[in-house]
Structure 1
Amino acid sequence: MCMRTILIADDDASIRKLVSIHLQEASYVVIQAENGETALHKLEHETVDLAIVDVMMPVMDGYTLTEEIRKHFDIPVILLTAKGEINDKEKGYEAGTDDYLVKPFEPKELLFRIKALLRRYEKESHPVLTLGATTINKKSYEIKVENRVLLLPLKEFELLYLLASHPNQVFSRNHLIETVWGMDYEGDERTVDVHIKRLRDRFSSITNDFRIKTIRGIGYSIEAKR
């Protein structure tokens, strides 16, 4: 298994050391930078899979560094800050961060956020899925069944893409809700059932490349044609 490399940019040496210890214990390779300018230089000369960026740094702050990363590199960014105000979070997301963590934080939380982002970026780096003669293109949001092109409502597409990304893996309704609709979604699990029914109605009559299976009492999985 290829070891992932993570850049930690923070002017506080104790924070860099603490984060580095936990990352190395989790089998990550760690590169350190004491400010944004140094971090950019290291990004230009090293292959980095994810950047952890402190907001308040000399020379170049974390917001500016995040903007520069977005312009030149396709990697996830986690911003670290001592502030928890909503306007600081808004500024961070406008700069292009993928996630946000307020100091002090639990190292374990940082680790599971890193894992989640790396999984997401890995999946998005392979945007075209193939199930038999059916292709699902995450970049264009088109589904092609032989010579027929379909454009689905956004949530239906994302639900199908998630299931198709992991054939034969069972997803609970709750997991599907959190991933496709978000953790703040206030609807119930019946939303998933409704969208699954719509997907089945759309595809059952035009292809047998895959079928969406109901796993009783749990959720759904997609079974691809061999």
Structure 2
Amino acid sequence: MKTLLLVDDEARMLDLLSIYLSPVYQCIKVNSGLEAVVHMRNSYADLILLDVMMPEMDGWTACAKIREFSKVPIIMLTARNDKSDVVRGFQLGADDYVTKPFDEGELLARIDALFRRMDDKNTKAIQFKGLKWDEESHELTYEEQQIQLTPKEFSLLGILLKNPNKVFSRAHLLESIWENKVFTEDRTIDSHVRNIRDKLRQAKFPVDLYLSTVWGVGYKWVPKE
């Protein structure tokens, strides 16, 4: 289930949004732009519904600050229907704009459409709890922070991510990655897995929850909720 960050200074609006969306998405509610920025710096969401008119830090400012470090999809919510506001939102990095009061079905459709566009854009990428393994760009990031892996480490992690819950023996991984072109040993895989774990830990990704050792066999990726 994807996670939505709902941001509005009106408790009633947050409750309504949660009622509409919680059957389909996991919802996290915060009541200020500042809380939204702090949440995204320290945690994760798949999409943000961001109210514009809020005290202390409005939605425009929050959107701009989040865009300094995250590409998370953002839909702006506002009672104003001025075209200049729409343009401003897009210029600051928003992905869509919904005017209050809104129809429940339309809001869900816009969220679904935005996720579909993101999925189409990332057909060669695997995303998992803020971690993104992108085969096309050959990049690994966690919450927009780039993690430097060697080509072999990148390939090994990709095999595990593409096949969740499947146990791969060391021999299978050796054959898949090195293709028997060079002499290697089982402990070569152990060394690469250790390096991957160290690099993900340094990036603050909780790798030990998901990259599991199956003693006497090999390794697997366990996508726990």
> Per the shorter chain, which TM-score range?
0.5 to 0.7
SS of residue in 2 equivalent to 1:72: coil
Separation (CA, whole Å) in 1 of partners of 2:3 and 2:82: 30
Partner of 2:6: 8
Separation (CA, whole Å) in 2 of partners of 1:109 and 1:34: 23
User: Cα gap change, 1:15/1:64 in structure 2, threshold over 3 Å: closer, same or farther?
Assistant: same
- Mapped contact 1:75–1:121 kept (Cα < 8 A): no
For residues 182-221 of structure 1, give each alpha carbon's deviation from its aligned partner in whole angstroms, at most 9, with x where no partner exists.
Answer: xxxxxxxxxxxxxxxxxxxxxxxxxxxxxxxxxxxxxxxx
Aligned residues between the structures: 129
Q: 1:112 offset after TM fit, Å?
A: 0.7
SS of residue in 2 equivalent to 1:100: strand
Separation (CA, whole Å) in 1 of partners of 2:83 and 2:124: 32
SS of residue in 2 equivalent to 1:126: coil
Partner of 1:21: 19
1:126 maps to 2:123? yes
Q: Which amino acid aligns with 2:87?
A: E
Equivalent runs, 1:10-89 vs 2, <5 Å? 10-26=8-24, 28-89=25-86
Separation (CA, whole Å) in 1 of partners of 2:91 and 2:44: 25
Equivalent runs, 1:134-145 vs 2, <5 Å? none
Separation (CA, whole Å) in 2 of partners of 1:75 and 1:62: 15
Q: 1:85 offset after TM fit, Å?
A: 1.0
For residues 83-119 of structure 1, give each alpha carbon's deviation from its aligned partner in whole angstroms, at most 9, with x where no partner exists.
Answer: 1011111111111111001100011111110011111
TM-score normalised according to structure 1 size: 0.53
Q: 1:46 offset after TM fit, Å?
A: 2.2
Partner of 2:96: 99
For residues 37-73 of structure 1, give each alpha carbon's deviation from its aligned partner in whole angstroms, at most 9, with x where no partner exists.
Answer: 1011111222200000000111211011111222211
- Mapped contact 1:6–1:29 kept (Cα < 8 A): yes
Identity of aligned residues (%): 39
Where do 4+ consecutive residues of structure 1 move more than 4 Å? none
Q: Which amino acid aligns with 1:59?
A: E
Q: Which amino acid aligns with 2:15?
A: K
Separation (CA, whole Å) in 1 of partners of 2:61 and 2:74: 12
Separation (CA, whole Å) in 2 of partners of 1:65 and 1:52: 11
SS of residue in 2 equivalent to 1:65: helix
Q: Specify every segment of 5 or more residues in structure 1 that has no aligned partner in the other structure, as ranges.
A: 129-136, 139-226
Equivalent runs, 1:64-213 vs 2, <5 Å? 64-126=61-123
Q: Specify every segment of 5 or more residues in structure 2 that has no aligned partner in the other structure, as ranges.
A: 126-135, 138-225
TM-score normalised according to structure 2 size: 0.54
SS of residue in 1 equivalent to 2:68: helix
Separation (CA, whole Å) in 1 of partners of 2:53 and 2:124: 35
